Amino acid sequence: MKRTKAVVIIGDGMADRPVPDLGGRTPLEAADTPNLDSVALEGECGQMDPIGPGVRAGSDTSHLAILGYDPFKVYTGRGPFEALGIGMAVAQGDICFRCNFASLEGDLTLDENGPFSGAKVVDRRAQRISEGTQELAEAVDGMSIEDVTCYVKESVEHRAALLLRGPGLGPGASDVDPHEDGHAPHASVGADEESRKTARILNQFTLRSWEVLRGHPVNERRQAEGKLPANIVLPRGAGIAPHLEPFADRHGMKGAAVVETGLIAGIARYLRMTVPEVPGATGGADTDEFALAQATLRMLDEHDFVLCNIKAPDLGGHDSTPQAKVAAVQKVDRLVGRLREKCRADIHLAITADHCTPISFGDHTGDTVPLAICGPNVRPDSVQSFGERAVMSGGIGRVRGSDIMAILTNLMGVQEKFGA
Amino acid sequence: MKRTKAVVIIGDGMADRPVPDLGGRTPLEAADTPNLDSVALEGECGQMDPIGPGVRAGSDTSHLAILGYDPFKVYTGRGPFEALGIGMAVAQGDICFRCNFASLEGDLTLDENGPFSGAKVVDRRAQRISEGTQELAEAVDGMSIEDVTCYVKESVEHRAALLLRGPGLGPGASDVDPHEDGHAPHASVGADEESRKTARILNQFTLRSWEVLRGHPVNERRQAEGKLPANIVLPRGAGIAPHLEPFADRHGMKGAAVVETGLIAGIARYLRMTVPEVPGATGGADTDEFALAQATLRMLDEHDFVLCNIKAPDLGGHDSTPQAKVAAVQKVDRLVGRLREKCRADIHLAITADHCTPISFGDHTGDTVPLAICGPNVRPDSVQSFGERAVMSGGIGRVRGSDIMAILTNLMGVQEKFGA
Structure confidence by residue, pLDDT tens digits, A281-336? 999 999 999 999 999 999 999 999 999 999 999 998 888 899 999 999 999 999 99
Give all domains of chain A, ordered by start, each with its CATH number. 6-75+244-412 (3.40.720.10), 83-240 (no CATH)
- B8: β partners: B307, B350
E strand or H helix that includes residue A117: strand A116-123
Please confirm whether the linkage preceding B276 is cis (ω < 30° from 0).
no
Q: Are strands B255-258 and B305-310 parallel, antiparallel or unpaired?
A: parallel
Query: In this structure, are residues A15 and A367 in contact, taking their beta carbons and an 8 Å threshold?
Result: yes
- Which residues is B114 bridged to in the sheet? B112
Distances (CA, A) of A239 to A25, A92, A98, A299, B367: 40, 11, 9, 32, 42
User: A325, A280 in Cβ contact below 8 A?
Assistant: no
Q: Around Cβ A326, how many Cβ atoms within 10 Å?
A: 24
Crossing angle of helices A404-412 and A59-66, in 10° steps, is 30
Return the DSSP state at A343.
S
pLDDT at residue B64 tops 90: yes
Own/partner pairs for B133-139, CB < 8 Å, 24+ apart?
A: B133/B101, B133/B157, B133/B158, B133/B160, B133/B230, B135/B216, B135/B217, B135/B218, B136/B101, B136/B213, B136/B216, B136/B218, B136/B219, B136/B230, B139/B212, B139/B213, B139/B216
> How would residue B1 be classed by pLDDT, with cut points 50, 70 and 90?
low
Q: Does A398 touch chain B (CB under 8 A)?
A: yes
Residue B387: φ, ψ to 5°: -175, 165
Residue type for position A141? D
Pick among B2, B368, B417 to test the A interface (most A CBs inside 10 A):
B417
Give the separation between CA B412 and CA A174, rounded to whole angstroms: 29
Enumerate residues 341 to 370 of chain A having a beta carbon within 8 A of any beta carbon in chain B.
Answer: 358, 360-367
Contact assignment for A366 to B406 by CB distance below 8 Å: yes
Percent of chain B with pLDDT over 90: 91
Chain segment A38-81, per-residue pLDDT in tens: 999 999 999 999 999 999 999 999 999 999 999 999 988 788 98
pTM for this entry: 0.89
Kindly identify which residue of chain B lies nearest to residue A83, measuring between CA atoms.
B420
Asked if B42 is an interface residue toward chain A (Cβ–Cβ < 8 A), one would say: no
**B413: contact with A, CB 8 A cutoff:** yes
CB atoms within 10 A of CB A268: 23
Sign of CA dihedral B283, B288, B291, B296: positive
Give B393's contacts in chain A (Cβ within 8 Å): 392-393
What's the confidence (pLDDT) of residue A2? 82
How far is B390 from chain A, CA to nearest CA, in Å? Answer: 13
CA distance B56 to B62: 9
Taking the CA atoms of chain B, what radius of gyration do you get in angstroms? 23
What is the pLDDT, as a whole number, of residue B81? 86
Give residue A1's pLDDT.
63
Q: Which of B125, B148, B153 lies closest to B138 in space, CA to CA?
A: B153
* Tens of pLDDT, residues B218-262: 999 999 999 999 999 999 999 999 999 999 999 999 999 999 988
Tally Cβ neighbours within 10 Å of residue A221: 13
- Distance of residue A25 Cα from the nearest chain B Cα, in angstroms: 10
Please give the mean pLDDT across all residues of chain B: 95
Task: For residue A78, give how far its alpha carbon lies from the nearest alpha carbon of chain B (Å).
Answer: 6
Count the Cβ atoms, other than its own, within 10 Å of residue A277.
Answer: 6
Cβ contact, residue pair B413, A361, below 8 Å? yes
For residue B393, give the 3-state DSSP assignment: helix
Residue A216 C-alpha, separation from nearest chain B C-alpha, in angstroms: 31
Q: How many CB atoms lie within 10 A of CB A178?
A: 18
A410 phi/psi in degrees, rounded to 5: -65, -50
Q: Which residue of A has its CA nearest to B393?
A: A393
Residue scoring higher pLDDT (B86 or B105): B105
CB A383 within 8 A of CB A372: yes
A291 by Cβ neighbours in 10 Å (0-12 / 13-18 / 19+) ranks as: middle
Q: Does A17 sit within 8 Å of B419, measured CB to CB?
A: no
Has residue B316 got a pLDDT over 90?
no
- When CB atoms are compared, the residue of A26, A52, A361 closest to B406 is A52
Cβ contacts of A55 on chain B, cutoff 8 Å? 406, 410, 415, 418
pLDDT at B162: 97
Q: Which residue numbers in chain A have pLDDT < 70?
A: 1, 113
Sheet architecture: strand order including B44-49 = B255-258, B305-310, B6-11, B348-352, B369-374, B44-49, B397-400
What integer pLDDT is reported at residue A152 of this predicted model? Answer: 97
Distance from the B376 Cα atom to the nearest Cα atom in chain A, whole angstroms: 10
pLDDT for res A376: 95
> How far off is chain B from A62, nearest CA to CA, in Å?
8
Which residue from B378, B403, B417 is facing A56, i.e. has the nearest CB? B417
What's the pLDDT at B85?
Answer: 84
Task: Give residue B113's pLDDT band: very low, low, confident or very high (50, 70, 90).
Answer: low
Compute CA distances A384 → A36, A217, B391, whole Å. Answer: 10, 62, 21
Contact yes or no for B5/B347 (Cβ under 8 A): yes
Question: Is residue B143 within 8 Å of residue B210, measured between CB atoms?
Answer: no
Compute the distance between CA of residue B198 and CA of residue B188 in angstroms, rounded to an integer: 9
The C-alpha angle B52, B54, B59, rounded to 5 degrees, equals 70
Using a CB-CB distance cutoff of 8 angstroms, which residues of chain B are in contact with residue A57?
417-419
CA distances (Å), origin A304, targets A270, A299, A340? 18, 9, 16
**Do residues A262 and A85 make contact, with C-beta atoms less than 8 angstroms apart?**
yes
- Write the pLDDT tens digit of every residue in B32-58: 999 999 999 999 999 999 999 999 999
Q: Is B417 on the interface with A (CB under 8 A)?
A: yes
Tell me: the pLDDT tens digits for B375-415?
Answer: 999 999 999 999 999 999 999 999 999 999 999 999 999 99
Question: DSSP class of residue A184?
Answer: P
